[in-house]
Structure 1
């Protein structure tokens, strides 16, 4: 890999996802050992030429030789393009660049529900993205559809679940959101959507855990009890992840109990109706 020198990438140290990929750039020698800097450690002088508000939403790459700053997808293309110039050329083609910027914003505005961090109670400089209701709702809609598709396919492997069809799985996924809303309706709208975003991320994680079984089932026929057992393990892991996120968000712990209650109600309806 060719190393991009004299450049510093600003990252959100409270974001697990940001920590992972910026450290990856350094490990891959795409940036030198001093090639990243925590956003919270910015000096007053650096804040005079870095657009702080923009850098919270789009990761900033600073050329330390002349204090030129790139943001968002342009930052990533600058880094990756040093090692793979063809990627930068393709990425800068207007139609591709437009799509990449939209994708980047989709991930960036939702990164706190994809990989949440503990609430910061200090007065230090924070790298929290703005709340964008359009991207949040789009994330919830797409994630719900993805979850419904995976559950619909997986239900076919478990004969104990009668009448598997996509509409039912979509209704169950939407029902979970509606059921949990009953217990968060008194908090402000932004926090409601923040919780629902985390809620649906847990569902995505569960769907991703089921995906390997769906793929392997195309080559090896699994016994129904194996599929059922893996589903049970997945649900338990989802419960733990939901509880972990509730603690990070400092929300009432009974939300995990209501999350479980909904699933028990649905299981009873499926088995006995």
Structure 2
């Protein structure tokens, strides 16, 4: 599972240290980590970073949208948009972005925008690279407790909408920094649902994420057997249903077998 590691904008000096941990993606966070009065200060620090265009930036969305406009001015193409209230709100925010190459992460943090996500992706899927659930803000709006059970529906609905429009979905940020069993169970739950990206907020979490083995030895051997048979018959177009270990294997299983082997290669 690929990571999106948050670095607070006021901790940019830790960037090289975090990069040495090899997260797949880095998000510089200008929203939750700094005061509004500090935005321009840390923006100036950000633009001095070598290869800063490689990093996503989470910018605050408010009445002024100062940092969003600043990022657009320097043609920064990787932007994360939080606090979007609705399709109409997103449309208004997107009008500030005059860049066809923009790659957006949009954060779903309320019921209205979740309900209008499919409409949003249908129109803007060329520029929305990822969607993610801001689960803690989402349950706060509902007055609910943050549990996997309580966010099951929005987590699934967002994932299905993303799949419908070939947009990637990022699984929720965990606040767990100590209990490896709880963290691993949350990650595995997301993986089993179909998530292949995960928000990470601490080096401990990244270490844990990289240690998880998503498929056991039996599953890997099953995948190898399926692909061996595919190759033997001359490819998936020539593949007929066969019986392996008392299980009927059909063409849809081939994709699963390749996914297992690809995941296993990274370990």
TM bracket, shorter-chain basis: under 0.3
In terms of fraction of residues, the more helix-rich structure is 1
In terms of fraction of residues, the more strand-rich structure is 2
TM-score, with structure 2 as normaliser: 0.27
Bigger relative CO (Cα 8 Å, ≥ 6 apart): 1
TM-score, with structure 1 as normaliser: 0.26
